[in-house]
Structure 1
Amino acid sequence: MSKYEVLPQQLIHEGTLSGDNFFAPAPADEKEILKTHDADYWHRLKNLELSNQEIRRTGFPLTRELVDREIIIAQGTIDCTKFSLQHGIALNIAGGTHHAFTDRGEGFCLLNDMALAANYLLNNQLVKKILIIDLDVHQGNGTAQIFQHDPRVFTFSMHGANNYPLHKEKSDLDIALPDHTDDKSYLILLDRHLKELMNNERPDFIFYQSGVDVLATDKLGRLALTREGCKKRDKFVLNIARQTKTPIVVSMGGGYSPDFRDIIEAHANTYRLAQEIFF
């Protein structure tokens, strides 16, 4: 059973959330997808016509079920923007597909949910300036490429310097961390840069990619954060959104620790903090 099934069960079981706190999105409309992704890429993706090389780059066998899943995840993050504007915060139990480019998929990502949702907000004139905070251990290369020429979206990625992807795109702000970066070093850097960004950019909406592959236990991560350090990271981001009254949408991102409990607990902490800080 995947973390996407276990996580909501855990949150309901412990009483952090109830079933009423969850929603099931419909598939995203094609017109929304085409406001972010290249028409040729989308046509070939939905018709399962990607080349073998393109499929290998995504890391998944290409199936109808996979494409349908990505479309639903994308709409989930779009729907989250509406809940966030109303309540201050909303979270997608999946999402964070930050390796999807305008014209291709990479690294287990086919459609970029945060980019689709950001463009939904901008195209409907619901916000003017968006900050994307990407704290997954892997650089948000697809997100950086999508918004490289759009001053309305500031992309901030804090990631492992020596981790995937080998070729990094240029975010508006990239903080590349050395292997074995610990809690203290990580949190000092995050505090300094995020406070500066909030003061300088003054966003009226935030997307937060909260991958837990920064944990020392993660088999792909190469950083050295503890579970408590990861929780402090989330608390800092959520607190700054709450204090500045900036609506925030959180997508879960990656997590690959061999012990499944490390993944579930780290993700669950994000939800626990959201409930504590916002409600």
Structure 2
Amino acid sequence: MIIHHSRFAMRYTDYGIGIPVRDDRADRTFQALCGHSTVGARVAAWHYSEPLPEITAEDLLRAHDAAYVRAFLSDAPEAALMESYELLDEQGRYNRYDPAKAVRPLRELATTALGHVAGTAACAELALEHGFCHFLGGGMHHAMRSRGRGFCPLNDVVVAARRLQAQGRARRVWIIDTDAHKGDGTAEITLGDKSILCLSIHMAQGWPLDCTPLDSAGNLRRQFYPSDVDIPIPAGGEAHYLPALEHGLDLLEQLSAGQRPDLALVVGGADPFELDELPSSAPLRLSLEQMRERDLLVYRFLAGRGVPQAWVMAGGYGRESWRVYAQFLTQVLGERGG
């Protein structure tokens, strides 16, 4: 199943935000699938367009603290959004932000972000029913317990996992994060939670790991909190990426001690792609073929073990990022017969 709702597009320029996310990456992926000679003919079988679940404060509180949830759900979420999208620099000046160019109020981004949380929650539910689902959105893996960061106001991945656990529909969950940037928010929120095991394969250097691990007081900075399996890839290490990921998946399975998870949430960022346009993704440059092999490696690892899998988009910046999702989904939908 594929979840696609154009109304949840993050049209950052509408808010005066200059982040290089193409507003149409989800739409172009969906159009490519619909236009495919065989997959497109079965669109009614794989496209989910029903209403998404309502995300409540109770859902958010399973991942975020009460003060942050209150601020985010209030009538004035602007301060939380400014921090999430890094719209102020250290001197308090606007960063990649010009409110004079905005045609929509910034607070509307809070509603859009909640829509992405709902999409990921629906994706997880459908994965349990059908074995596979991909949401063309979501993946806000940098949001931490008490704040958003890295373009991520809410951690939809953890919210979705714990929502299913609270409903009694899942006990053990894996989160497999292949975005170029470490899934630091997910690691921070789930630290010590043995019911959710996290793997993150990411750039060894650069944001969010572009500072010393310890702060001035000698405490470990939150972005360095460990995932259960961390796979840092050094600059120039593209040839080792796929073997390292395969080994990491084996380690994740070993950590599960023979207990198959009820669900895997896959944060399938397109930003390791060599044509990605976000400067902070530059140290990792996988070819389109390597991206295809990455996604199929994860997909087949989970499918071979009978683990339901819910995929979300996460990072992907620039005019070519849609190709990463389209090639993967074309193949998976073809293999699954729509």
By the TM > 0.5 criterion, same fold?
yes
Match of 1:8 in 2: 30
Q: Say which SS state the counterpart of residue 317 (structure 2) adopts.
A: coil
Match of 2:14 in 1: none
Bigger radius of gyration? 2
- Return the alpha-carbon distance in structure 2 between the equivalents of residues 54 and 12 of structure 1: 34
In the alignment, structure 2 segments of 5+ residues that lack a partner are 1-22, 88-96, 98-104, 210-222
Q: Which of 234, 238, 247 is 1:192 aligned to?
A: 247
- 1:172: Cα distance to partner? 1.3
TM-score normalised by length of structure 2: 0.76
**Does residue 128 in structure 1 map to residue 171 in structure 2?**
yes
C-alpha deviations, 1:152-202, integer Å up to 9, x for none?
0011111001121134332111111111222x3111111112123224413
Match of 2:149 in 1: 106
Match of 1:265 in 2: 323
- Return the alpha-carbon distance in structure 2 between the equivalents of residues 248 and 53 of structure 1: 31
- 1:63: Cα distance to partner? 2.3
- Return the alpha-carbon distance in structure 2 between the equivalents of residues 216 and 232 of structure 1: 14
Map 1:46-57; keep pairs closer than 5 Å.
46-47=73-74, 49=76, 52=79, 55-57=82-84
185 and 164 in structure 1: CA distance in 2 versus 1, 3 angstrom threshold? same
The CA RMSD over aligned residues, in Å, is 2.1
Q: Say which SS state the counterpart of residue 6 (structure 1) adopts.
A: helix
More moved, 48-57 vs 237-246:
48-57
**Does residue 234 in structure 1 map to residue 257 in structure 2?**
no
Q: Which of 151, 157, 171 is 2:227 aligned to?
A: 171
Q: Say which SS state the counterpart of residue 102 (structure 1) adopts.
A: coil
Q: Say which SS state the counterpart of residue 276 (structure 1) adopts.
A: helix
**Does residue 246 in structure 1 map to residue 307 in structure 2?**
yes
Q: Which runs of 4+ in 1 moved over 6 A?
A: none
- Return the alpha-carbon distance in structure 2 between the equivalents of residues 19 and 70 of structure 1: 27
163 and 276 in structure 1: CA distance in 2 versus 1, 3 angstrom threshold? farther
Q: Say which SS state the counterpart of residue 157 (structure 1) adopts.
A: strand
Is residue 28–residue 322 contact of structure 2 (8 Å, CA) maintained in 1? yes
Map 1:132-211; keep pairs closer than 5 Å.
132-166=175-209, 167-182=223-238, 184-201=239-256, 202-211=260-269
Query: Structure 2: which amino acid aligns with 1:147?
Result: T
Is residue 53–residue 121 contact of structure 2 (8 Å, CA) maintained in 1? no
- Return the alpha-carbon distance in structure 1 between the equivalents of residues 174 and 53 of structure 2: 26
Q: Which of 75, 78, 86 is 1:59 aligned to?
A: 86
- Return the alpha-carbon distance in structure 2 between the equivalents of residues 274 and 233 of structure 1: 13
- Return the alpha-carbon distance in structure 1 between the equivalents of residues 154 and 80 of structure 2: 17
Is residue 124–residue 265 contact of structure 2 (8 Å, CA) maintained in 1? no
TM-score normalised by length of structure 1: 0.91
More moved, 47-56 vs 62-71:
47-56
Query: Structure 2: which amino acid aligns with 1:102?
Result: R
Identity of paired residues, percent?
28
34 and 232 in structure 1: CA distance in 2 versus 1, 3 angstrom threshold? same
Match of 1:86 in 2: 129
